[in-house]
Amino acid sequence: MNRRVKGIVWGVILVILALYPWLFGIYFTNVIVTCAIFALFAVSYNLLLGYTGLFSFGHAMFFGAGGYATALALTHIEGCPLLVALLFGFLGAVALALLLSPIVARLAHSAFAMLHLAFSMLMYTLALKLRGITGGEDGIGGFPIPPFRIPGVVSVDMTDPLNFYYFAMAVLGGSLWVAWFLTKTPFGQIIVSVRDNAKRVDYMGFKVPQTKAIIYTLSCGFAGIAGSIYAMFQDLISAASFGIAQSFAPIVMTMVGGVISFFGPIWGAVIFAVIEELTTRYTERVQLVEGLILIIVILFFPGGFIHLAAIVKGKWLGFIRGQWFGSIKGKWFGKQ
Amino acid sequence: MDATTAMYVAQGIHGLAYGMVLFLVASGLTLIFGMMGILNVAHTAFFMLSAYFCYQVVAWTGSFWLALLMAPIATAIVGVLVERFLLRRIHALGLLFELTLTIGVMFVIMEAVKVFWGTENLPLPVPLLLEGLVQIGGMEYPVYRLFIIGLSLAVLGFLAFILYKTRMGMVVRAAVSDADMVNALGINVPRLFMFVFGVGTWLAGLAGVAIAPILTVFPGLADQMGMDAFIVVIVGGFGSLGGALMVAIISGLLSSYGVQFVSQLAPVLMFIFMAVVLAIKPTGFFGEREG
């Protein structure tokens, strides 16, 4: 695709998203906000997994930290502005990441994954036990959602779902753009090389643990933003957002959408939103369907939806299937 | 013996019994990890599946002993099928894909048991022979917990015998340290993988049957045990049986004495223990390589 086609495609997507609430009604507007929250969450996860090759079982901990930080700020600070609450969410997740990074930046593979599982379970237990602060099982809810206000210019009521839709999409979309831009910078190149061959990156004079710590902190910050928007959107945050199911969600979305691409996790979030919409009408066992889809995708298209799309496109362009397997094989924790 | 000592000993027996069940689950997990390098996320789902199989066999035949024999074998068959038809196909792609595939398998098993057996707690009676208490040295112990400890020790002995005294065990240990080399020596490593995966899930299945009469059978069974089992494997060192045994017992005792002395902190004691160990030695107690 050349520049002009790309520009037109993005323009059309923007127009559709702008008109979306009027086209599909308020129910599907809420569905797409949830979907966008998880898209950012999954993309933030893919910055670790797909780009840096760090596999984590506990990314939900940063989502939860962002949500709780925002909820606490809105509950306890009188007249806390909207953007400050959002900033609290971001900083909450970043603070947690900075606290953990000295320990986890030295680890790789399974130890990294499992330590995150342990820490996220620790956070989960704390959220349940520290009732005075976190509200225990009920979580924190019913806090006021302040209006979006630029003093002397504009004040928009955020309790109106329509206004909140635009606010959430702007924040999430903006975050996605920043994350995308990050992967195109020289720093983005370094983290990919850390994934492919950390030793060589070290020989070239880059500091591997520090690089990992930086991308880790940024990724967690994005997860915090997703959690913060989620808390404001639901007007509720509970211990479940630290839970193991919440940690598996971005993994599964990334794998189904495509770990090989920046846009894969976004596709994953969309696919899972669609699956959930369709299957909940017929059965309670949504996870059964999700599990089966995950298995089928990994068996036949390890590169996820992006991979499938390329195979379909390859039917026209003469793309060779083996190339894809070659480009994936061994890149994520394969034999060196 | 006075009442306080008796209480300590009773708590110790509880902790030991839980620790030994934990070891059964963790030993399968660590065996699979050491051999194939896969963190089998679905491991505790197999553990739970076996508890359901046990319930079903007891419901059909009324015999716990038959269930103890059959349910782990049925679980192992499911495990072997998963290895042969799912994991083996993507082995060449690298660990990430195998690991996420086991997540998919876990989702499917967890939901499938809800479809077949519903979501309520299914009670399973302790077999008649093992009911009640036994008196040793003026103290009373629940027989079933002693049976669990004995069963786990027997399995541990059997496993150690196979691994260290037979030719097959030698091959398995060699494959743990270098699978490619063993393959080059003319041994069918894929078949060995399948076998080890089967044994691993069989061990999880055995633990599932052992725990079923104590905790009853319910869909949350896997969550309760799963986290602890993973922690045991990591802290003990990936692929190390001795490490798994040691940490499983520590974990069991920590949880039983923890509830007694610092009940507020009890749920997080294990996580703190793990964080401290990993922060000092990232490979765990007896791990030689980073997982």
**Reported ipTM:** 0.87
Task: Report yes or no: A271 and A256 within 8 Å, Cβ to Cβ.
Answer: yes
Interface residue of A106, A112, A288, A300 to substitute, partner B, most B CBs within 10 Å: A288
CA A3 to chain centroid: 27
Residue A155 backbone dihedrals phi, psi, to 5 degrees: -140, 115
Task: Report yes or no: B111 and B52 within 8 Å, Cβ to Cβ.
Answer: no
- CA–CA dist A59, B68 (Å, integer): 38
- CA–CA dist A178, A47 (Å, integer): 12
Cβ distance of B111 and A49 shorter than 8 Å? no
Closest residue in B to A254 (Cα) is: B100
- CA–CA dist A39, A45 (Å, integer): 10
Q: Of all helices (H) and strands (E), which one includes residue B234?
A: helix B221-236
Strands A140-141 and A148-150, by their bridges, are unpaired
**B136 CB within 8 Å of a chain A CB:** no
pLDDT in tens, A253-298: 999 998 888 899 999 999 999 998 888 888 878 889 999 999 999 8
Tell whether the model's pLDDT for residue B138 goes beyond 90. no
Cβ-based contacts of B290 with chain A (< 8 Å):
107-111
Query: How is residue B191 written in tokens?
Result: 């078949």
| Closest residue to A292, CB basis, from B108, B230, B238 | B108
State the average pLDDT over residues A49-56. 88
Amino acid A271 reads: I
Is B273 buried (19+), middle (13-18) or exposed (0-12) by CB count in 10 A? middle
Shortest Cα–Cα distance, B102 to chain A (Å): 8
Task: Give the model's pLDDT for residue A326.
Answer: 60
Average pLDDT over all residues of chain B: 84
Cα-based torsion angle of the residue sequence B84, A254, B227, B112 in order, rounded to the nearest 10 degrees: -60
Q: What is the pTM of this model?
A: 0.88
Tell whether the model's pLDDT for residue B267 goes beyond 80. no
Q: Where are the alpha helices (DSSP H) in chain A?
A: 3-46, 60-76, 82-104, 109-129, 131-134, 161-184, 186-196, 198-203, 208-234, 244-257, 264-279, 286-300, 304-317, 321-328
Strands A154-156 and A148-150, by their bridges, are antiparallel
Task: Report yes or no: A273 and A34 within 8 Å, Cβ to Cβ.
Answer: yes
Give the C-alpha distances (Å, rounded to integers) separating A39 from A32, A46, A137, A253, A289.
10, 10, 26, 8, 20
Reported confidence tier of residue B289, pLDDT bands at 50, 70, 90: low
Return the higher-pLDDT residue of B5 and B18. B18
Range A194-202 contact pairs with CB under 8 angstroms and sequence separation of 24 or more: A194/A52, A194/A53, A195/A51, A195/A52, A195/A53, A195/A331, A195/A332, A196/A53, A196/A331, A197/A336, A198/A108
Cβ-based contacts of B99 with chain A (< 8 Å):
55
Tell whether the model's pLDDT for residue B168 goes beyond 70. yes
Task: Give the model's pLDDT for residue A82.
Answer: 86
State the average pLDDT over residues A201-206. 90
pLDDT in tens, B198-229: 999 999 999 999 888 888 888 888 877 777 88
**B111 CB within 8 Å of a chain A CB:** yes
State the average pLDDT over residues B178-188. 86
Reported confidence tier of residue A335, pLDDT bands at 50, 70, 90: very low
Most confident of A93-102, B176-185, B211-220, B277-286: A93-102
Tell whether the model's pLDDT for residue A110 goes beyond 50. yes
- CA–CA dist A48, A56 (Å, integer): 8
How many A-B residue pairs are in contact by the CB < 8 A criterion? Answer: 131
Provide DSSP, B11-53: HHHHHHHHHHHHHHHHHHHHHHHHHH----TTHHHHHHHHHHH
Cβ-based contacts of A129 with chain B (< 8 Å):
264, 267
Strands A154-156 and A236-237, by their bridges, are unpaired
State the average pLDDT over residues A304-324. 66
Task: Give the model's pLDDT for residue A330.
Answer: 62
Cβ-based contacts of A109 with chain B (< 8 Å):
95, 290-291
State the average pLDDT over residues A113-119. 82
Return the higher-pLDDT residue of A188 and A112. A188
Q: Of all helices (H) and strands (E), which one includes residue B172?
A: helix B167-177
Give the C-alpha distances (Å, rounded to integers) separating B266 from A243, B44, B262, B269, B274.
18, 22, 6, 5, 14
Cβ distance of B90 and A302 shorter than 8 Å? yes
Tell whether the model's pLDDT for residue B276 goes beyond 90. no
Task: Give the model's pLDDT for residue A92.
Answer: 94
Cβ-based contacts of B101 with chain A (< 8 Å):
294-295, 298-299
CA B152 to chain centroid: 10
**B164 CB within 8 Å of a chain A CB:** no
pLDDT in tens, B65-110: 898 899 999 999 999 999 999 988 888 787 888 888 999 999 999 9
What is the greatest pairwise CA distance in chain B? 63
Amino acid B277 reads: V
Cβ distance of A299 and B290 shorter than 8 Å? no
Rounded CA Rg of chain A: 20
Tell whether the model's pLDDT for residue A150 goes beyond 80. no
- CA–CA dist A315, A308 (Å, integer): 11
**Would you tell me how many other CB atoms lie within 10 Å of the CB of residue A232?**
26
State the average pLDDT over residues A10-17. 89
- CA–CA dist A247, A59 (Å, integer): 5
Shortest Cα–Cα distance, A217 to chain B (Å): 19
Selection from B266, B267, B260 nearest residue B11 by Cα: B260
Tell whether the model's pLDDT for residue B4 goes beyond 80. no
- The percent of residues above 70 in pLDDT, for chain A, comes to 92
Task: Report yes or no: A157 and A163 within 8 Å, Cβ to Cβ.
Answer: yes
**B278 CB within 8 Å of a chain A CB:** yes
Residue A140 DSSP SS3: strand
Is A186 buried (19+), middle (13-18) or exposed (0-12) by CB count in 10 A? exposed
Query: How is residue B215 written in tokens?
Result: 């905790």
Cβ-based contacts of A295 with chain B (< 8 Å):
86, 101, 104-105, 108
Query: How is residue B209 written in tokens?
Result: 């049957």
Interface residue of B33, B40, B99 to substitute, partner A, most A CBs within 10 Å: B99
Cβ-based contacts of A330 with chain B (< 8 Å):
92-94
Reported confidence tier of residue A331, pLDDT bands at 50, 70, 90: low
| Closest residue to A117, CB basis, from B89, B99, B230 | B230
Tell whether the model's pLDDT for residue A22 goes beyond 50. yes
Selection from A82, A54, A83, A71 nearest residue A220 by Cα: A54
Query: How is residue B221 written in tokens?
Result: 């069974």
Return the higher-pLDDT residue of B38 and A96. A96
Reported confidence tier of residue A95, pLDDT bands at 50, 70, 90: very high
Selection from A280, A191, A227 nearest residue A67 by Cα: A227
Cβ distance of B223 and A244 shorter than 8 Å? yes
**Would you tell me how many other CB atoms lie within 10 Å of the CB of residue A315?**
8
Cβ distance of A285 and B33 shorter than 8 Å? no
Amino acid B246 reads: M
Residue with tokens 């922060």: B279
Reported confidence tier of residue A319, pLDDT bands at 50, 70, 90: very low
Cβ distance of A331 and B94 shorter than 8 Å? yes
- CA–CA dist A304, B197 (Å, integer): 26
> What are the structural domain ranges in chain A?
35-302
- The percent of residues above 70 in pLDDT, for chain B, comes to 96
Residue B213 backbone dihedrals phi, psi, to 5 degrees: -65, -25
Shortest Cα–Cα distance, B284 to chain A (Å): 9
Cβ-based contacts of A329 with chain B (< 8 Å):
92-94
Tell whether the model's pLDDT for residue A154 goes beyond 80. no
State the average pLDDT over residues A57-82. 89
Cβ-based contacts of B102 with chain A (< 8 Å):
none
Cβ distance of A285 and B114 shorter than 8 Å? yes
Lowest mean pLDDT among A3-12, A201-210, B281-290: B281-290
Cβ distance of A110 and B234 shorter than 8 Å? yes
Q: Of all helices (H) and strands (E), which one includes residue A148?
A: strand A148-150
Range A271-276 contact pairs with CB under 8 angstroms and sequence separation of 24 or more: A271/A305, A272/A38, A273/A31, A273/A32, A273/A34, A273/A35, A273/A38
Query: How is residue B250 written in tokens?
Result: 């520590």
Reported confidence tier of residue B291, pLDDT bands at 50, 70, 90: very low
Shortest Cα–Cα distance, B290 to chain A (Å): 7
Cβ-based contacts of A333 with chain B (< 8 Å):
94-96
Tell whether the model's pLDDT for residue B290 goes beyond 60. no
Cβ-based contacts of A122 with chain B (< 8 Å):
268, 271-272, 275
Task: Report yes or no: A19 and A166 within 8 Å, Cβ to Cβ.
Answer: no
